[in-house]
Structure 1
Amino acid sequence: MIRAVVFDVGECLVDETREYGTWADWLGVPRHTFAAMFGAVIAQGRDYREVFEEFRPGFDLYEQRQARADVGRPEHFDESDLYSDVRPALAALREAGLWLGIAGNQTVRAGGILRGLFAEDVDLIGTSDDWGASKPDPEFFVRVAAVVPFAPEEILYVGDRVDNDLRPAVAAGMPTALVRRGPWATIQWRTEEAVELPTFRIDSLTELPQLIGKFNAGER
């Protein structure tokens, strides 16, 4: 049975359109040009951070995050950046009695923002900076399993990426859900792994309560 649901952050709960737009602005690059290069890098199976180096060789993302903060332009997201299905889905899953968590590759600052948004809605909020391990490192999912009070096979991990989310979560023994939105899921959706790896393929998080209910009832 699935007893817990743990969500990725970017392009799962949070629409990152605005944030990546601000990075294009920071680099002095037209937003549509940045977006086109972003998609090309993902389609080539490269690390998304290489996008920045295409425009500024030697770019250090952590250093530049701090530089933005130093001039009053830090990374930021708020309620308006959440996908519209997030609040209804969390409420329905909670009503169904499921343990809920949020865990993704995020900075300490982003973790603070998440706690401000979701502290009353979930049982756990963890970030890669908190844990010293980033997806797809298997250690990240070891940390997830260590803090969720259920066995890995009872923890559904929900994400938008085959490479960072599904592949390592399945290797850790967890069922998974792939949500089709954002650049990664859109590009990867028809690949063999995107079809075969996830327990569920969804267009909206609000599909999860019914799918989990059927799964737990043995309707596969």
Structure 2
Amino acid sequence: MIDTVVFDVGETVTRDDRYWFSWADWLGQSRHTVSTLVGAVVAQGRDNADALRLLRPGIDVAAEYAAREAAGQGEQLDETDLYEDVRPTFTALRERGIRVVVAGNQTVKAGCLLRSLNLPADLIATSGEWGIAKPDTRFFERLLVETSSRPEHTLYVGDHPQNDVFPAKAAGLRAAHLHRGPWGHLWADNPEVIAAADWRISSLTELTDLIGE
């Protein structure tokens, strides 16, 4: 029985378009170039920030992030960044008595921005706030502590196998692989993902019926 559903953030709850487009604008690069490089480095198993390092060798990403914030060109999130199925799915799950949590690899500011959207969620937290990031299993251990949930009764939903599906399963949680965004589609038919994921979905709305079953 699933009593807690935890959602990744990027390309699960929110679109990543604005985030990477803003980096492209800041670095004076085309948005297509940045998006393509992000996809390429992630497909190679590298950190997505390596795309920025390819564009500007020697870049201090943290320092540039701070400079963007100081210039008023930092992170932003609003209702238009949410996928359309987020609010109805969260609401439907809570109406069934299921705890809804949002937790992913995001900054402290992203956590504040997400909470400002007043999502129908019981908890919103980020790796920046916890000081530990996926795929480290300690992220999922912290998640279980924060939610007081048993791992076998907790479902983690995300698009990225290495950050979401595999480490969630390693921590004893159940996992749903979401076919959304570049990573979700890239690994949709990967045999290891198919074997590891308890469910494979194309929309968050599918969860309501799946969990009911």
| Match in the other structure for 2:24 | 24
User: Does the 8 Å CA contact 2:2/2:153 hold for their aligned counterparts?
Assistant: yes
> How many residues are treated as equivalent by the alignment?
213
| Match in the other structure for 1:193 | 192
| Match in the other structure for 2:162 | 163
Task: Tell me how far apart the structure 2 counterparts of residues 195 and 118 of structure 1 sit (CA, whole Å).
Answer: 34
Q: Deviations over 1:93-131 (max 9, x none)?
A: 111110111111111111111111135x11111111111
Identity across matched positions, percent: 48
| Match in the other structure for 1:38 | 38
How far does residue 27 in structure 1 lie from its aligned partner after superposition?
1.3
Task: Tell me how far apart the structure 2 counterparts of residues 141 and 60 of structure 1 sit (CA, whole Å).
Answer: 28
Task: Tell me how far apart the structure 2 counterparts of residues 19 and 77 of structure 1 sit (CA, whole Å).
Answer: 9
SS of match in other structure, 1:126: strand
| Match in the other structure for 1:12 | 12
| Match in the other structure for 2:56 | 56
Q: Indicate yes or no: 2:177 matched with 1:178.
A: yes
| Match in the other structure for 1:204 | 203
- In structure 2, do the counterparts of structure 1 residues 118 and 194 end up closer, same or farther at CA, with 3 Å as the change threshold? farther
How far does residue 133 in structure 1 lie from its aligned partner after superposition?
0.5
| Match in the other structure for 2:87 | 87
| Match in the other structure for 1:143 | 142
C-alpha RMSD over aligned residues: 1.1
SS of match in other structure, 1:29: coil
Partner AA of 2:212 in structure 1: G
Task: Tell me how far apart the structure 2 counterparts of residues 13 and 65 of structure 1 sit (CA, whole Å).
Answer: 22
Gaps of 5+ in 1: 215-220
Partner AA of 1:70 in structure 2: A
Q: Indicate yes or no: 2:130 matched with 1:131.
A: yes
Partner AA of 2:45 in structure 1: G
Task: Tell me how far apart the structure 1 counterparts of residues 179 and 78 of structure 2 sit (CA, whole Å).
Answer: 22
Task: Tell me how far apart the structure 1 counterparts of residues 2 and 199 of structure 2 sit (CA, whole Å).
Answer: 12
TM-score under structure 2 normalisation?
A: 0.96
SS of match in other structure, 2:121: coil
Q: Indicate yes or no: 2:117 matched with 1:117.
A: yes
How far does residue 62 in structure 1 lie from its aligned partner after superposition?
2.0
Partner AA of 2:2 in structure 1: I
How far does residue 207 in structure 1 lie from its aligned partner after superposition?
0.4
User: Does the 8 Å CA contact 2:156/2:168 hold for their aligned counterparts?
Assistant: yes
Task: Tell me how far apart the structure 2 counterparts of residues 60 and 211 of structure 1 sit (CA, whole Å).
Answer: 44
Partner AA of 1:198 in structure 2: A
Partner AA of 2:102 in structure 1: I
SS of match in other structure, 2:117: helix
How far does residue 60 in structure 1 lie from its aligned partner after superposition?
2.5
SS of match in other structure, 1:205: coil
TM-score under structure 1 normalisation?
A: 0.93
Q: Deviations over 1:6-63 (max 9, x none)?
A: 1111110001112211111111111111122122112212111111111011223222
Gaps of 5+ in 2: none
Task: Tell me how far apart the structure 2 counterparts of residues 49 and 193 of structure 1 sit (CA, whole Å).
Answer: 25
How far does residue 191 in structure 1 lie from its aligned partner after superposition?
1.3
